[in-house]
Amino acid sequence: MERKYRVVHYLNQFFGRIGGEDKAGTGPLGREGAVGPGLLFQEFFGHDAEVVGTVICGDNYFNEHPQEAKDKLLEFIKGYGPDILLAGPAFNAGRYGIACGAICSHVSDQLGITSVTGMFSENAGVELYRKSAYIIETKASLTGMKDASGKMVTLAMKLARGERLISPEEEGYIPKGVRMNYSADKKGAARAVDMLLKKLKGEPFTTEYCMPVFDRVEVLPPIDNLSEITLALITSGGIVPRGNPDHIEASSAKRYGKYDIQGVDQLRPDEYETAHGGYDPTYANEDPHRVLPLDVIREMEQEGVIDRLYPYYYATVGNGTSVANAKEFAQKIVKDLIRDGVQAVIISST
């Protein structure tokens, strides 16, 4: 009879049923058996494996104390004697994704066991840990939970059993940059000609070596005289007038707002708030200047450090917002700024 594999599952405070953003500072802890999404994993494992324990850590705690968090979680994980670690899936949650990638990489290195996580391709954790962890590609949101869980379990079992993987595309994980040797029916020159002919005919083809694509932003020369410029403010921290009049989404924003600050020297907490759903809003709502430094820029304007502050500021939410949407926002905003003679921008985040 084939033995049953032991699985430990890593979750953040939300999926671990500890609490929301108010509990993001929760330190590492352990729970017996499956919790939250772990119950779905257990269904997919069936009789092949058992989720024997769940380790949980708040997103803020992990990202503010990464080494301490990894070391404490490792001790909990060791205690369950696992063969497999699953983390997440984190979808497009940046802090969660970074934590999932970090703990998978750390556990694989320290314990030598199979570790698998899941993330949306644009999650910050992908670029940080794609080479050191197996990351199943997921949808951006929870709607992809069932699909991601099934693929994570399938990959984890193949790795644990020592089965040969086919390709990242067929297995469903994000490529790690490792090239595998295999026997092809045709020589490289013949395959290259075949691809070229398909490209010339407009037919679909798949390259055998995908080259990375990087956005290249040319660095502009420094401003010679700040006292002669018009400066604008932009924030991805979600600072908006009370009530969020443009209904900017708390996560995965599909819009931005443009707000008049002519004659406004202070962002009063009874008039402004944050619409951001990715961090504890308490301190930003107490003093919106912590995210959007209007007060300091006004002082610089009065002191003649800059000529004037642009009479509008732009705001959106960076939490889970796709690169495509962010690029579209920037292209629209920059048209206003160039038209109105703005020479410099300060972009604040969280």
Looking at residue 2, what is its pLDDT?
Answer: 65
Domain ranges of the chain: 5-171, 226-348
DSSP codes of every residue in 290-328:
GTS-HHHHHHHHHTTSSSEEEEEEEE-B-TT--HHHHHH
CA torsion, ordered 262, 264, 265, 267, to nearest 10 deg: -130
Polymer length of the chain:
350
pLDDT in tens, 33-86: 999 999 999 999 999 999 999 999 999 999 999 999 999 999 999 999 999 999
Looking at residue 141, what is its pLDDT?
Answer: 86
Looking at residue 343, what is its pLDDT?
Answer: 95
Domain range 5-171, CATH class: alpha beta
Q: What are phi and psi of 135, to 5 degrees?
A: -120, 110
Find the radius of gyration of the CA atoms of the chain: 24
Looking at residue 329, what is its pLDDT?
Answer: 95
pTM attached to this predicted model: 0.68
Looking at residue 48, what is its pLDDT?
Answer: 94
CA torsion, ordered 131, 133, 137, 141, to nearest 10 deg: -120
Q: What is the mean pLDDT of each run of 10 residues along the chain (350 residues)?
A: 86 94 92 95 95 96 94 96 96 92 95 95 90 94 93 96 87 82 83 92 84 76 93 96 94 92 95 92 95 96 96 93 87 96 94
On whether the CB atoms of residues 45 and 4 are closer than 8 A, the answer is no
pLDDT in tens, 253-271: 899 999 999 999 999 999 9
Looking at residue 68, what is its pLDDT?
Answer: 95
Average pLDDT, the chain: 92
Residue 146 DSSP one-character state: H
176: left (phi over 0), alpha (psi -120 to 50) or beta: alpha
Helix (H, G, I), strand (E, B) or coil at 235: strand
